[in-house]
Structure 1
């Protein structure tokens, strides 16, 4: 099972991890946020992460720089201390049986993360689609789930423990430590020469699903 020893968090608890590819197969993947050996639900015991001598992460940012969308077909599990999990790929994210374990807040976005003074401040969305199909998105153990993209296509069940928010369009979306404060602070208007998506949100084939809050 793939295991990532996440990067050393900064003073704000942000661990910034960069990838040229971020896919998860049906076996799942581990984000190691433990200083000591710890047992996981998916991968058994894992060794402590040597990069965490100063402390564990509060937010694990997974930033993908690729021309291809990320394909998530299994669960991403945080080993050790709970942390917010963010997967950011401007080329898109496709979820078919994906989910996150041991996290209170998860974000799937096609926005470019903006970090200021060590804090993750905004996502700048210029393109990209987050799609959910097949076995859906199971975040039933995650309190808050956020999908932030130019387009979303939800053709399967989606679950989050307390709340799920979807933000679509070319926007700059502000993120704070409080999920309820998620908001659009700037709309990145398309020019007349750009091709706009016909449908920003497509929920035509929704399966069994929890209520979604569209922003």
Structure 2
């Protein structure tokens, strides 16, 4: 039937069909482009939100760890510690109460790196009397005379990091021991977000060496 139509009609029909095909192709292209732009925009917004959330969490973590460091440093500089009285349980308990929602244990090592005082939420801790002289973070604190954050340490299925602040004699710069704190990583990082349920938004925490400290 199309063959019997005048040439001008054939051209018109072909033109209409071409326009329809072009219109559909253009519509599909525009729709695809729009969807891609929307996806890209949503992804960018999500990344920006994630970065903002991560930055906020990092600041909170840094603030809490700074508080722990301040308390430990204050202990090392106290007159009791400087006078060699490293069994001052009352002072240790007082300072522990300031940060017991952040840390698990607080302890004091003498110049031989033996634990002389150790407190936890259950009272006197099993650390008491332990020799910590072979622990890497203790060696580092003794050698460098600087505060140390340990690498993660797993014991009885609990991943823990330690903070150690050396007790340095103000008069002769002599190492007198250290004040330390232990922080169970999962409990600590759960303060800032979900580290238990992987079926919802969760946190993954790495240390500077890329070791996972906590994960949902």
Question: Which structure's residues are more often helix, by fraction?
Answer: 2
Give the structure-1-normalised TM-score. Answer: 0.22
Question: Which structure's residues are more often strand, by fraction?
Answer: 1
Give the structure-2-normalised TM-score. Answer: 0.22
Question: Radius of gyration: which is bigger?
Answer: 2
